[in-house]
Amino acid sequence: MKFDSIPNLTLPKIGFGTWKIGGGSSPNPTTDSVSMAALHSAIETGYTHFDTAEMYANGHAEELLGDAVYSSQIKREALFITTKVTPSHLQYDEVLRSCENSLRRLQMDYADLYLIHWPAAGMKLADTFRALNKLVRDGKVKHLGVSNFNLKLLKESEQLSETPIIINQVPFSLSDRSYVKNGMLEYCQKNDILLTAYSPIDEGNLRTNAKLEAIAKAHNATIFQIALAWVISQPRVITIPMSANPKHIRENFEAAEIELSQSEVDQLTNR
């Protein structure tokens, strides 16, 4: 596994996302066995960064992740767990309550990283960070970050946070460069902030072309592995693909070992 580092923190280039674990926007217990098998497969494969949110399956994804970690008997300190507060819960008391509920569902004493999942219209960011800062001081959260924030909101968050904002989680893939065009990636690279790419293979709907297929063939890899390798070839970028298929879970993990040449990176960038 490759890693990326900022001051006082090193994270694997590829983690495991849990969107659709336990359901979509609401719980779907009929998928629990498949979800648990996926989580156990990810743990056994060697993933150590797991990304979840109270919004995923209305908290059920956190419950299943907590159960998987607990039953695996892996040491808590060996993992890096990210979860997120829902946009409708950004008021001071609601943030504190949301974090407590997430920790209860995860069966954990702390989260390694706590993110504002999305900005909300009319939110009082100072009020939100007053609660987030308290969570860090109280040891409930180790690090703070944001998700889906633009540059203006990210910079405002940096001013309000008592500890460094370490991550902005945004969509980023071969086909989605919106956070490159708006200057976010460059800002993060210059300011010791990791950009966590979600939907790095367009939720399995990656559009292919001759360049991508030729590079995949040259590396005896899938086009999805090459797409992941391109994403993590960017400095200060990590990613969190998700799959329920054990074969794809391992292939995603192994994509970190693919060494793209600068020529291949450039071909994919300019495809």
* Catalytic annotation, residues: 56
What six digits make up the tokens of 103?
């920790």
In the three-class reduction of DSSP (H, G, I as helix; E, B as strand; rest coil), residue 224 is classed as helix
> What DSSP string describes 118-134?
S--TT--HHHHHHHHHH
Any idea of the CA torsion for 84, 81, 203, 232, to the nearest 10 degrees?
A: 120
Helix-helix angle 262-269:223-232, to 10 degrees = 100
Any idea of the CA torsion for 45, 50, 54, 56, to the nearest 10 degrees?
A: -40
Name the phi and psi angles at 115, rounded to 5: -115, 145
**Of 182, 178, 185, 197, nearest to 239 (Cα)?**
197
- Please report which helix (H) or strand (E) contains residue 159, including its range: helix 151-160
